[in-house]
Amino acid sequence: MSTSKRIAILGFSLEANRNAPVSDKKSFEQTLYVHGETFASILDTDRATLPGTVRGFCATLDQSIDWQPVPIVLAEAPPGGPAEQAFFDQLLAQMKQGLEQAMHEPGGLDGVYISEHGAGLAMDLDDADGEVFSMVRGVVGAGVPVIATLDLHGHVTPRMNESTDVLVAYLTNPHVDQFERGTEAAKIMMEMHRGMQPHSVLIRVPMISPAVSLLTASGPYADLINLGQSRLGPDIVNVSILAGFAPADASTNAMSIVVTSRNNHASAQKLAYELATSAWADRKRYITSLTPLKAAVDKAASVASSPAKSAILLADVADNPGGGGRGNTVYLLKELIQRQVGGVVLGMMYDELLAAEAHQLGLGASFNARFNRDETTRFSEALSADAVVEALIDGTCIGRRGIYADRCVDLGPCALLRVAGIQIAVVSRRYQCADPVFLERLGIDLSQSRVLVIKSRGHFRAGFDEYFKPEQIVEVDAPGLTTPVIPNLNLTRVPRPIYPLDSQMCWAP
């Protein structure tokens, strides 16, 4: 009889922004939606299109044990609005059926690995991830290890924690440890096969934090994560601290602290309590201030006109496709045009119609570019400007640095337009500009760029750090779906009281 371990792989990944347009089946299909034979053959042959977590998980088991992946379903959409309910229901049913079938096959299942985001919403459901996790447990029963990896922007509900054995969240933001966390999940799975019994304790701290203050290189969140990591040892298997995603605007919103110990509930409880107390005591450090739009453009104008000054990067953090933003607002662009700031590169405007028009007109064409001609989303105002087509490419590329490193990305047909003194990269798929390769493929030499405007909240830092040091980065306060200014998000569904909306509230773990 074979001793090969059979481990199911599945996941639903969506960072849901309550106010962004619904994430329909197509948005999953265009990103990642694989099941059955297709999923099996990707696992066998070319895993480059899979998330780093899944690649890390599989690579580690490949090297360590005789095992057999049992592919169920992987679905991932770009950050956007809640999942269309019908699609989510279909996905859940598909996962359930796949797991049930696997359980009935000879050998059943020796484990389930879930690659999840953790800030998922469906149209009629706040705890979409809890729905997935409890379905999994319901099918496989209590004896089968269930381990999930989560993005640190996720939320952990009691249901998610109770339905799984171990939750492993990213430790880095920008997220450059996805592969490592998959590896960690695999190692914990093998340890469970050898008899380790994990105990997980969850404490939800009533805090929502501005996305820009959740970097892990330094700052309050870095300190908290480091404190947790310093306690790993024979007793503590994993410490996951998920800061959450404010624009989800859901009953699930909170900072989630999950500590997992080996065979000892009390030590997990003690450490979770200590970390929650520390997070709460530090809450004021998370409040941040951005640079007002006009002041940011003043800086850009001054850099553009004085070659002796260092180049700057204006981060349009409120229109981050990586947080459900549409990647097409024109507040900064309009101001730069009006002030006639030259030598600017803008990466990237998501506008499928405009990219298609540029491709149709051809290289060198002059035309009146109409941005957002068909957009109905709040904040995505229309803009017309005279433009010249400077470059045209298909948008397939392999990520070079940061969160997209080594991953295949398809931006769809792309065009580089020149409007006044500004070069604008126009793309057909909604991605945040987190990798220099997205602009380099259009012929842009970033080492020569004086003023770079990037539509991304923070992940760009791991891609563009070879050109821009932290002191050259200006986080701009413009309107948008992903503004880190919490009061401007108009949150209506988060549990109250919650910090900082209820700034005088008292709380203890």
Give the residue nearest to Zn ion (CB): 153
Would you call 384 exposed, middle or buried from its count of C-beta atoms within 10 A (0-12, 13-18, 19+)? exposed
Residue recorded with tokens 């109770």:
162
Closest approach of Cβ 487 to Zn ion, in Å?
A: 22
**Cβ-contact 109, 50 below 8 angstroms:** no
**Nearer to Zn ion among residue 15 and residue 84 (C-beta):** 15
Q: Between β-strands 383-393 and 396-398, what pairing exists: parallel, antiparallel or unpaired?
A: unpaired
Query: Applying CB under 5 A, does 351 fall inside the site for Zn ion?
Result: no
| Residues facing residue 408 across a β-bridge | 398
Six token digits for residue 305: 């006109």
Token digits for 319? 């229109």
Q: For residues 359 and 455, which CB has a smaller minimum distance to Zn ion in the complex?
A: 455
Q: How do the residues of the chain divide into helix, strand and coil, expressed in percent and rounded to 5? A: 35, 25, 40
Which residues partner with 397 through β-bridges? 409
**Between residues 324 and 413, which has the closer beta carbon with respect to Zn ion?**
324
Binders of Zn ion in range 397-416 (CB under 5 A)? none
Q: What SS3 class is residue 349?
A: strand
In the complex, least distance from residue 153 CB atom to Zn ion, rounded to whole angstroms: 4
Q: Which stretch binds Zn ion (CB under 5 A): 129-137, 153-161, 304-312, 385-393?
A: 153-161
Q: Which stretch binds Zn ion (CB under 5 A): 150-158, 351-359, 366-374, 449-457?
A: 150-158
Nearer to Zn ion, 153 or 450 (CB): 153
Stretch that binds Zn ion, among 82-90, 99-107, 148-156, 229-237 (CB under 5 A): 148-156
> What are the tokens at 278?
């520390």
Closest to Zn ion by CB, 14 vs 349, is 14
Structure tokens at 80: 């956007």
Query: With CB under 5 A as the contact rule, which of the stretches 35-43, 143-151, 388-396, 438-446 interacts with Zn ion?
Result: 143-151
**Which CB sits closer to Zn ion, 39 or 221?**
221
Residue whose C-alpha is closest to residue 368's, from 388, 343, 340, 342 = 388
Distance of alpha carbon 423 from alpha carbon 410, whole angstroms: 21
Is the CB of 151 or the CB of 319 nearer to Zn ion?
151
Q: Which is nearer to Zn ion, 18 or 153 (CB)?
A: 153
Contact string 88-117 vs Zn ion (x = CB under 5 A): ------------------------------
Q: Terminus-to-terminus CA distance in the chain, angstroms?
A: 50
The dihedrals phi and psi of 142, each to the nearest 5 degrees, come to -75, -25
Beta carbon of residue 79, minimum distance to Zn ion (angstroms, whole number): 8
Q: How many helices (H) and strands (E) does the chain have?
A: 14, 20
Residues 6+ away with beta carbon under 8 Å from 177: 170, 171
Q: How far is the CB of 138 from Zn ion (least distance, A)?
A: 28
Please state the φ and ψ torsions of residue 452, each to the nearest 5 degrees.
Answer: -115, 125
Query: Residues 154-183 vs Zn ion: string with x where CB under 5 A?
Result: ------------------------------
Q: How far is the CB of 242 from Zn ion (least distance, A)?
A: 9
151 is a contact residue toward Zn ion (CB under 5 A):
yes
Q: Which of 55, 153, 204, 401 binds Zn ion (CB under 5 A)?
A: 153
Binding site for Zn ion (CB under 5 A): 151, 153
